[in-house]
Structure 1
Amino acid sequence: MTEEERAIIRNKYLGIAGPTKKRSRTERKKLAFDWDATDDTSDKLNPAASVEARVFGAGGRGGMDTTQHHNGSSNAFAEKPWTEKSLDEMRERDWRIFREDFGIASRGGHIPKPLRSWKESDIPPDVLSAIEKIGYKEPSPIQRQAIPIGLQNRDLIGIAETGSGKTASFVIPMLAYISKLPRLSDANRQLGPYALIISPTRELAQQIEVETKKFTDQLGYNCVSIVGGRDMNEQAFSLRNGAEIIVATPGRLKDCIERHILVLSQCLYLVLDEADKSIGMGFADELDFILDSMPASNMKPDTEESEDPLALLEGKTDARYRVTMLYSATMPSSVERLAKNYLRRPATITIGDANQAVGTVEQRVELISGDDKKRQRLFQLLSTHYEPPMIVFSTTIQSVDALAHDLRKQGFNVTTLHSKKTQTQREEALANLRSGQSDILVATDLAGRGIDVPNVSAVINYSFPTSFEAYIHRIGRTGRAGKKGIAFTFLEPSDEQFFYDLKQELSRSPVSTVPRELDRHPAAQSRIVRNEKRRRED
């Protein structure tokens, strides 16, 4: 095949490349109407028709200047923080940030806004004046949310870390409630108190009594404690003139009710403090007995009315609804049952993580085997580091007494606290520590919860407690009310079931570090579950 023939075939099948003609752009034909544009009268019927509509494109967004749009949106997010705003300027976003700043979480309907300051609250003027005289400068996180709820006469469940100011969070709304009731007189004082606070231990009850009397002494009310370890006749005599507020332990309160020394016919305000501790100490039956002794006619209905602030503030036509508050560090099933039976549509407040230590406590852990080495280290810490008062915890009564004996031989000024002490001895030990007559308190877990000794510089766990929860409450005796504190813990191989939880706790703490020996220990890599029971305190 010749070259010419190949060219013919190629051109036939592949085509011949050649110059293309430039197509001229056709113009879109404009629609021409039969009438003149001046004849359009639609602008008289609808003024919007005379405005030219802006379309997307050409640097605009539906007629919006994009530069102006971006400037406006940036200014919206550059607004001043809630700390610089007045109460009227606060928006929902500001309140959300406020709650996050103070670690406040709440559940339930109609939750009121938290307190920013005392002066912005609805607290009655006489109670507010007492707050100022006592010297409360700023509300604590639990007080910021619990007090507004309490002022609405709502039932409340409060879950908060140790040293959070719980006492004032229920005493202040309680006093606001009582201030609206008639003063006790010969006609009604035999009907019992207006308010009742139940605490698991004598020490905590007396501590609550002291804090409450700071208010009642200024407001003209009477507050009395009923606790075990004191003469029953003496306590009956103290109730002779009546009391608006009674602080009691479950066992002694039940005895007084059974002996007809006390009735609760007009009790309209109930606080269950440290409810999980009360149940854990075996007072579940006593609590049921006491709550069943109160008038059922004043219980709130289990309806939405129990969440309605207006309905609760108005009360009932013939009597007021009873207010019930429950405070607990944890919510086991036994406490949930108690809340379900005796609280009506409660608001629930959680402050921070109640199962974690206060963020102001530095936790230091040391693995020490052998009692001799632990004692040497204890003497060293007490001699060279921190100012009194200090608290040393041990697990058993025998070890507490032995430690106190050895510390006294070393020249330390020591007092002790455990369940074998009489009530008078317990009060004296705490009074000496608070006044400075004693520098060191050696105690079992009896002092690990609820007892408030101001300015404790250090806590030393000579032996690890029987539960991790007890560890959290022990170290919570220092670093209270926003102050810094430090806690030393001596660990032995027998404590390895707590190594994992302890490592996690130290990792979460903003002021603590995990020691290398604990971090690499095999028992700290996963949680160990054992069926055996550890020794109890007493």
Structure 2
Amino acid sequence: MWIKAADRDGRRDRDRDRYISRHRDREGHLRSSRQDQDGDRKRGRDRGTGRGHDGGERDDRLETMAMAAREWEKELDAIAIKEQHLGSKKPRKRSIPKPSEKFRFSFDWDNTDDTSRNDAVQKQPHEAAPPPPLLLFGRGFLAGIDRRDQKMKAAAALKLNRPRRNGAVDEDYRDAADGDLYEASDMHVDRHWSDKALEEMTERDWRIFREDFSISYRGSGVPKPMRHWSKSKLGAKLLRAVDEAGYRKPSPIQMAAIPLGLQQQHDADVETGSGKTAAFALPLLSYVAGLPPITHENRHEGPYALVMVPTRELSEQIAEETARLARYLGVRVVPVFGGGSEKTIAEQSERIQKGCEVVVATPGRLLDLLERRYVVLNQCNYVVLDEADRMIDMGFEPQVASVLAVMPSSNLKPQNEDEELDEKKVYRTTFMFSATMPPAVERLARTYLRNPVVVTIGTPGKATELITQNVMMLKESEKMPQLHRLLRDLRDKTVIVFCNTKKTTDWCFNELKNAGFGVTALHGNLTQAERKASLDGFRNRRFNVLVASEVAAR
């Protein structure tokens, strides 16, 4: 401490000596100037009256400089006193940090880093904190505080804060109630989706619904599945026909496909199970029912809808089922299939030319009628490809592509999904059903379907859970005796026995017929009348065993 004081005194003495030396230099300069003037006077130069005036000015300047020196000395003394008692801020030397310390955080704060200077609360502390109590010392109050005044201020503050506090509590209760309502509307873990109305179904319920029925979608713009027939948006006449057909509850494929068909959106279904015919027939009939009936004036433009199937048996079966569902709509359904004579071709073409709304055809025969100009498809805007994988396996891909190419392409939906559609224009709707999705079927779908929705029911290629499969490893000589035992165990239940070849089918038929079973046969060597008689007898339970080749697989 003594060393610092000595340094300050020495620095102050040096500053004073420096100022005095400068003052002496000025006085010496003035003295030399005065001597020069005296010399001039001695040499006879007359300066007149101005000489005395100049000397007075120099004296005034000297006195002013002396006063300034005394003031400067006082300022130096004041600075020294401040440094001694208050300390001084020494200039910090700029140090170059090491590379390792370049990004190290510095805990040395300067007064310029004080952020409270721009804080509104710090600038107006009376708005941020309550005022201090009024101190009235010497007026008879304890510790100078007026208790009555403090109670009045406390009551005013309580009156002001109570509504705010109650409002915050009410808001908390409202937020909690809203949260409970949101969780209740989203979860509903206490109720199953089957116990809820359609309006109460949440996204979680629909997700569980799809999982329960093994329904999965791939695509955009997918409508909700159909829970009940009454919620299907089908017309009253169609619902009446559905009830009379014995459809009590929709199957998974019907739940998923019917809303898509009613929305007239392209659909590719990979399905397993039953109810497929109604899944595409009901939306098709709903579409046709909204169009003008086929009359003598527009019958030459062709049907409104087309269903292509791989076999003639399937063509007749689907045509019969579709006609049964359309009984109250007045829609005519015509099956077209190959395997007949020229007379059969003429009969089929005549029925189409008389006018019909729906045609169910095999690709080969339909292409033949198109090439002969017996049939046109100028106003056909609803296409169903049933058993698409089967048609590809049977080699019908060129025929299917040729039939679709004949149809007008101006009614295809644009490839760009975001492009706006013309509301006045009728676009083509294409349904494709396939048990599997091989590359050829995918290629067909990419060509003729626009932004399709792919619906998968169950696991592709896997049999439905309603079917129990058993495998028996037997020798050739043990097969027929084992078949006899199985048929006797089943008694009067209907059974289909499949064989690899037509020859094996005839042999198995004869063996079972000789054993006394009610059996009929079905294979490719039979005529159409014989096939129809065999199927009708099997359906009507005149025969409980049907021995068939692969022709009956579909």
- TM-score, normalised with respect to structure 2: 0.67
Is the Cα–Cα contact under 8 Å of residues 272 and 326 in structure 1 kept in the other structure? yes
4+ residue runs over 3 A deviation: 35-54, 69-78
Is the Cα–Cα contact under 8 Å of residues 112 and 148 in structure 1 kept in the other structure? yes
70 and 326 in structure 1: CA distance in 2 versus 1, 3 angstrom threshold = closer
1:215 equivalent in structure 2: 325
| Higher deviation after alignment, 406-415 or 90-99 | 406-415
Is the Cα–Cα contact under 8 Å of residues 334 and 358 in structure 2 kept in the other structure? yes
1:334 equivalent in structure 2: 440
2:520 to 409, 415, 423: 415
- The aligned amino acid for 2:487 is L
Q: Distance in 1 between matches of 2:180 and 2:417?
A: 45
Is the Cα–Cα contact under 8 Å of residues 353 and 375 in structure 2 kept in the other structure? no
1:171 equivalent in structure 2: 281
Q: Which has the higher strand share?
A: 1
Is the Cα–Cα contact under 8 Å of residues 296 and 355 in structure 2 kept in the other structure? no
- TM-score, normalised with respect to structure 1: 0.69
How many residues matched?
401
Per-residue CA deviation, residues 445-470 of structure 1 (Å, 9 max, x unaligned), is: 22122xxxxxxxxxxxxxxxxxxxxx
- The aligned amino acid for 1:182 is P
What are the within-5 Å matches in structure 2 for residues 109-128 of structure 1?
A: 109-128=220-239
325 and 49 in structure 1: CA distance in 2 versus 1, 3 angstrom threshold = same
71 and 444 in structure 1: CA distance in 2 versus 1, 3 angstrom threshold = same
2:411 to 287, 290, 298: 298
Q: Distance in 1 between matches of 2:173 and 2:410?
A: 66
74 and 247 in structure 1: CA distance in 2 versus 1, 3 angstrom threshold = closer
Give the % identical residues: 41
Confirm whether residue 347 of structure 1 aligns to residue 457 of structure 2: no
Per-residue CA deviation, residues 371-401 of structure 1 (Å, 9 max, x unaligned), is: 2211111111112334232111121111111
1:378 equivalent in structure 2: 483
Structure 1 residue runs without a partner (length 5+) = 1-30, 55-61, 450-538
1:536 equivalent in structure 2: none
- The aligned amino acid for 2:369 is C
2:211 to 100, 115, 118: 100
SS at match of 1:304: coil
**What RMSD over aligned residues (CA atoms) do the two structures have, in Å?**
2.9
Q: Distance in 1 between matches of 2:530 and 2:358?
A: 26
State the structure with bigger RCO (CA 8 A, min sep 6), 1 or 2.
1
Confirm whether residue 367 of structure 1 aligns to residue 478 of structure 2: no
Q: Distance in 2 between matches of 1:361 and 1:202?
A: 26
Q: Distance in 1 between matches of 2:300 and 2:503?
A: 46
SS at match of 1:122: coil
Q: Distance in 2 between matches of 1:331 and 1:172?
A: 24
Is the Cα–Cα contact under 8 Å of residues 496 and 546 in structure 2 kept in the other structure? yes
Per-residue CA deviation, residues 28-73 of structure 1 (Å, 9 max, x unaligned), is: xxx997246865888899887545989xxxxxxx999x9xx99997
SS at match of 1:34: coil
73 and 191 in structure 1: CA distance in 2 versus 1, 3 angstrom threshold = closer
115 and 33 in structure 1: CA distance in 2 versus 1, 3 angstrom threshold = same
| Higher deviation after alignment, 350-359 or 194-203 | 350-359
Structure 2 residue runs without a partner (length 5+) = 1-128, 134-149
Is the Cα–Cα contact under 8 Å of residues 151 and 176 in structure 1 kept in the other structure? yes
SS at match of 1:416: strand
Is the Cα–Cα contact under 8 Å of residues 415 and 442 in structure 1 kept in the other structure? yes
Confirm whether residue 246 of structure 1 aligns to residue 359 of structure 2: yes
Confirm whether residue 185 of structure 1 aligns to residue 295 of structure 2: yes
SS at match of 1:303: coil
1:34 equivalent in structure 2: 132
Is the Cα–Cα contact under 8 Å of residues 43 and 50 in structure 1 kept in the other structure? no
